[in-house]
Structure 1
Amino acid sequence: MIPYERQVKIVKLLQTNTLLKIDELKEKLPEVSISTLRRDLKELEKENKVQLLTGGAVKLNSSTTELPIKTKSTFYIEEKNHIADLAMEQVNDQDMVYIDSGSTCTILLEKMIYRNVHIVTSNTGIFNILNSVAAKITVLGGEYNPAISSLSGNLTEMNIGHFIFDKAFLGGNGIDLEYGITTPDLKEAMKKNHIVHHAKKSFLLCDSSKFHQVANVKSFDLDSVTLISDKGDAQLEEKTNIIF
């Protein structure tokens, strides 16, 4: 089998599987060695067709699908912790802080509960925290999405309207110069947009794997937030400040 044929097969397999470990690809393509698969995946990544993830997994290079929170939380752990630490530096005591759903925001939430702040969140990961906390915590109501541990919908947006946040920390699936911040879910996009309009200062917490990616639904413009990430990007810095 020539490289082109193998790579076409790999892409087709990823179109029907949100995420595959390299070992799982090997099981589906038993005639191809692991070393050959790795070479093919590196070529596909150079062509911007797939994205290699830490932990030996691969997905199509598209942010249009929403991975479960349990899956996302296993990737880019070091980068996400770095981003959360940078976000913590933006907060003062007594601030009213909104923290969004998403794997990086969940790490921030776990750190922020020990600060003297008022946290408002739609991230149901808060219910996994059993330790005593210093922060005052308000959970927004709404429709529960267990895949991403998030609350959204009309009730959530109505409750957001009662608050003015000193700082808002948001997640996203894609960051693009033309389309701004995008997500696969309309309810999540509307919630995030509503938050931006109720915050004195908004931050997007996003690792660099999401740079220049586009999902199906626009949340808000890039210049509406300050980006906190694990590294800079000259093109994105034309439209927003990046803390890294």
Structure 2
Amino acid sequence: MRDAPSQIRTPRTGELVAAKLRKRIITGDLRDGDEIPPEPELLAEFGVSRPSIRDAFRILETEGLIRIRRGRFGGATVLRPNAQSAAYHLGLALQAEGTTMADLAEARGLLEPLCAALCAGHAERERIADELDAVIDSSDPSAGDSSDFTADALRFHTAIVDRCGSTTLRLLAGALESVWGSQERRWALEARDAGRYPSVEDQRAVNRAHRAVVRHIRAGRAEQAQRAMAAHLHTSQTYVSPGEIAVDVVTQPAG
């Protein structure tokens, strides 16, 4: 008995146009912030209808690859994919799964120490250490201000990830870091308003822990850098992820 023939769907014209524009964005032919060619140019290039061009734009907008400006001065701007854009979709998936902050903290506690170890093994670890020290230096004056200190502390962790030297790990850990950061900023506002934000001495202890990680990176001690980062995260993340609080990327923090 012969199998029933499978149905092969013919792509819509808009999907084909979207595929061509998507390739230009991913390959760098259209760079972040570039304007997509105006509609008359696209009509002439692809020989399709206006609805097909608009369908292609809707597809790319849904994928987060362009931002559309509507109205008289409308158009579309390229949004090149990065860790931050991936983070939003990751955050939605985590929230849909009912992921807890403790679970998120555990994953961060595995990936970020590995990034610190890679920084210590990097051929340019001296330069990396200088840049990380500069980030910590900028956060010392912000001790006592919950909003500024939280932002500066998160910037240090992002810098570790960004400089690890592995593109795949940088994107994976960077997306995770971005999700965590959105949750920590919300926690900081709530803790400030409730009068339970960590003390200035606790904040300075965070910077001392950061400097210890950097010293190991500068000296090329990968294993020690990894352990120091893991210990720091184990201590600091307990402020933000107590109990079974769920990840929430949909609710916007107030204030």
Same fold by TM (over 0.5)?
no
Normalising by structure 1, what TM-score?
0.34
Q: Between Structure 1 and Structure 2, which shows a larger proportion of helix residues?
A: 2
Q: Which has the larger radius of gyration?
A: 2
Q: Between Structure 1 and Structure 2, which shows a larger proportion of strand residues?
A: 1
